[in-house]
Chains A and B, each alone.
Chain A
Amino acid sequence: MQVSSNALTERKVRKMGTCYKGGADHYHKVTENIGSVASAYKYHNGLFGDRGQGGSSGIRNIASDDPQATAKDFFDRLTYGGIEKTLYYKDGTEKGKRVTMADGSTMNWRKVSSSADKSPAVDIDIERSNDHGELVTQKIHFTKR
């Protein structure tokens, strides 16, 4: 009998007692959530927001009046139905959250980044994803408008 890796992961998650983020009834792929994010935030050629500082086009900015709330809303939309874990600083205090989706993509939300304005940041890593549409690996800073 052949069992998909997704089904195996769902079984493993049930065994671990893990819940899907946001109370979703199944393990979501990132492609299931992109529509919700793209309806609320600028999205073009797999990249969110506007080009940020530096030489890489994978560094993005999304400006708003409340960067913390915007970053949290963005992250919650993008990672709905994923499996969430905590990211730590070396001293054991919480740095943010890391979510793995059913396609293998991972997203991290950091409350404070190292940029000059200490803006919150969300990074998207699709390097091990098997289904991510046109979404590309990128890091998004949430800046003050």
Chain B
Amino acid sequence: MVSIDVRLKNEDVQILRAAVGKKLDRIEHDEFVFTNASSQAVRFVLGNAIFYLYSFTEPLDYYGAEEDVAVWSVEEKEYPLIADKSFVTTPIQEKISAIRIVQEHQRLFENAQQTYDVWVTRGIIIDFGDHELAFEKPVWFSEDIVICKGYDLIEKFQPVEEICKAGKWKDGVTMECSREVVTL
């Protein structure tokens, strides 16, 4: 059985953990043209502290084929591509009461035998007490980061049933998918 873990790393989680209790001044991202998505990066500004949520493809085994799979990271480092971006600013000015990381567990079965066990970070939800700001990875290969503001935003994430759809897999192949939320 192949095991793959592309959840946020420990050091990424520590950066998020340190943000809890602090005021998020603003986020900076690509201008929304039609969809509420930023490509490859979002910048978070908390006073003098800055960190980025990045989404870059990496070559990984995607259920039997080597593919470019989008992997998220949270880093203080600013990569050179940021200089080429024309970010717009979205003011927030809210204290972060909690951060929730949405982890997804995908299990692939071929003729009832499990062949893949995969963990992936599907999204991050920042809780301000009375409302939320969510960041979601829409598709396994997409470097887009979908941004939403509102309430109970995990309910707006793509349902796991969509990922398990039988038509997306070869005959004899099925997927089971579930999510767990880690609260910081």
Contact = CB atoms under 8 A, between A and B. Distances in A.
A101 B34 CA distance: 8
A86 B139 contact: no
Contacts, number: 111
Contact of A137 (B31, B83, B139): B139
B49 interface: no
B33 A92 contact: no
Contacts of B66: 114-116
Contacts of B167: 57
A138 to B, nearest CB: 9
Contact of A55 (B37, B68, B173): B173
Given A55-B110, A92-B81, A106-B144, A125 B169 contact: no
A59 B67 contact: yes
- The secondary-structure label for the interface of chain B is mixed
A24 B180 CA distance: 45
Interface in A101-136: 101-102, 104, 106, 108, 110, 113-116, 121, 123, 125, 127-128
B122 to A, nearest CB: 13
B33 A127 contact: no
A92 B79 contact: yes
A92 B84 contact: yes
B168 A58 contact: yes
Interface in B60-78: 62-68
Interface string A50-61: 011111111100
B159 to A, nearest CB: 11
A59 B65 contact: yes
A52 B141 CA distance: 15
A88 B83 CA distance: 11
Interface in B1-38: 30-31, 33-35, 37
Interface centre among A5, A13, A128, by most B CB within 10 Å? A128
B40 interface: yes
Interface of B: 30-31, 33-35, 37, 39-40, 54, 56-59, 62-68, 79-81, 83-84, 108, 110, 138-139, 141-144, 146, 158, 167-170, 173
